[in-house]
A and B are shown apart, each in its own frame.
Chain A
Amino acid sequence: MDKFFAYLNYPFVRYALIVGILVALCSSLLGVTLVLKRFSYIGDGLSHVAFGAMAVAAVLNLTNRMIIVLPVTVLCAVWLLKGSANTKIKGDAAIGMVSVSALAFGYLLLNVFSKSANISGDVCSTLFGSTSILTLTKWEVWLCIVLSVLVVSVFILFYNKIFAVTFDENFSRAAGVNADLYNMMIAVITAVIIVLAMNLVGSLLISALIIFPALSAMRLFGSFKKVTIASAVFSVAAAFCGMAVSIIAGTPVGSTIVAADALVFMVCCAVSYARKGRLL
Chain B
Amino acid sequence: MALLEVRDLSLGYDGIPIVSGLNFSVSEGDYLCIVGENGSGKTTLMKTLLHLQQPLSGSIETGDGLKANEIGYLPQSTIVQKDFPASVYEIVLSGCQARGGRRFFYSAQEKQLAQENMEKMGITSLKDRCYRELSGGQQQRVLLARALCASRKILLLDEPVTGLDPVVSADLYALVEELNQQKLTIIMISHDIEAALRYASHILHISDHIFFGTKEEYLNSKAGRSFTAAAKEAENG
A and B bind = yes
Q: How many A-B residue pairs have CB under 8 A?
A: 90
> How near does chain B come to A98, taking the closest CB pair, in angstroms?
23
Q: Which residues of A contact B130 (CB under 8 A)?
A: 222-223
Q: Are A167 and B84 in contact (CB under 8 A)?
A: yes
The 8 Å CB contact of A173, one of B52, B86, B129, B132, is B52
Q: Which residues of B contact A227 (CB under 8 A)?
A: 85
Q: For B130, give the chain A residue with the smallest CB separation.
A: A222
Q: Which residues of A contact B104 (CB under 8 A)?
A: 157-158, 160
Q: Which of A163, A170, A177, A222 has the largest number of chain B CB atoms within 10 A?
A: A222
Q: Are B87 and A223 in contact (CB under 8 A)?
A: yes
Q: For A228, give the chain B residue with the smallest CB separation.
A: B85
Interface residues of B in 103-118 (CB under 8 A from A): 104-106
Interface residues of B in 66-84 (CB under 8 A from A): 68-69, 71, 73, 75, 78, 80-81, 83-84
Q: For A161, give the chain B residue with the smallest CB separation.
A: B97
Q: Which residues of A contact B133 (CB under 8 A)?
A: 222
Q: Which of A177, A224, A225 has the largest number of chain B CB atoms within 10 A?
A: A224
> How near does chain A come to B217, taking the closest CB pair, in angstroms?
30
Query: Counting CB contacts under 8 A, is B128 at the interface?
Result: yes
Q: Are B85 and A173 in contact (CB under 8 A)?
A: no
- The 29 sampled A-B contact pairs (Cβ below 8 Å) are A161-B97, A163-B86, A163-B90, A167-B86, A167-B91, A167-B94, A168-B94, A170-B73, A171-B94, A172-B97, A174-B52, A174-B73, A174-B150, A175-B69, A175-B95, A175-B150, A176-B51, A176-B68, A221-B85, A222-B86, A222-B130, A222-B131, A223-B85, A223-B128, A223-B130, A224-B85, A224-B87, A224-B90, A225-B90
- Interface, chain A (partner B; CB < 8 A): 36-38, 157-158, 160-161, 163-164, 166-168, 170-177, 217-218, 221-227
Q: Which of A37, A175, A177, A225 has the largest number of chain B CB atoms within 10 A?
A: A175
The 8 Å CB contact of A38, one of B80, B81, B95, is B80
> How near does chain B come to A232, taking the closest CB pair, in angstroms?
14
Report how far A177 CA is from B95 CA in the complex, Å: 11
Report how far A37 CA is from B95 CA in the complex, Å: 19
Report how far A151 CA is from B83 CA in the complex, Å: 26
Q: Are A177 and B97 in contact (CB under 8 A)?
A: yes
Q: Are B71 and A168 in contact (CB under 8 A)?
A: no
* Complex A-B, nearest 6 residue pairs according to Cβ-Cβ distance, in ascending order: A222-B130, A176-B69, A223-B87, A175-B98, A174-B50, A164-B94
Q: Which residues of B contact A161 (CB under 8 A)?
A: 97
Q: Are A163 and B94 in contact (CB under 8 A)?
A: yes
Q: Are A222 and B97 in contact (CB under 8 A)?
A: no
Q: Which residues of B contact A171 (CB under 8 A)?
A: 73, 75, 94, 146, 150
> How near does chain A come to B100, taking the closest CB pair, in angstroms?
8
Q: Which residues of A contact B131 (CB under 8 A)?
A: 222
Q: Are B128 and A160 in contact (CB under 8 A)?
A: no
Q: For B106, give the chain A residue with the smallest CB separation.
A: A160
> How near does chain A come to B71, taking the closest CB pair, in angstroms?
6
Q: Are B69 and A174 in contact (CB under 8 A)?
A: yes
Report how far A173 CA is from B54 CA in the complex, Å: 13
Q: For A174, give the chain B residue with the smallest CB separation.
A: B50
Chain B 116-143 against A: per-residue CB contact (8 Å), 1 yes, 0 no? Answer: 0000000000001111110000000000
Q: Which residues of A contact B86 (CB under 8 A)?
A: 163, 167, 222-224
> How near does chain A come to B74, taking the closest CB pair, in angstroms?
9
Q: Which of A160, A163, A177 has the largest number of chain B CB atoms within 10 A?
A: A160
Q: Which residues of B contact A168 (CB under 8 A)?
A: 75, 78, 81, 94
* Also in contact, A222 and B132, with CB within 8 A (given A167-B84, A174-B51): yes
Q: Are B94 and A222 in contact (CB under 8 A)?
A: no
Report how far A223 CA is from B133 CA in the complex, Å: 11
Q: Which residues of B contact A217 (CB under 8 A)?
A: 85
Q: Are B85 and A218 in contact (CB under 8 A)?
A: yes
Report how far A21 CA is from B91 CA in the complex, Å: 31
Q: Which residues of B contact A226 (CB under 8 A)?
A: 85
> How near does chain B come to A233, taking the closest CB pair, in angstroms?
15
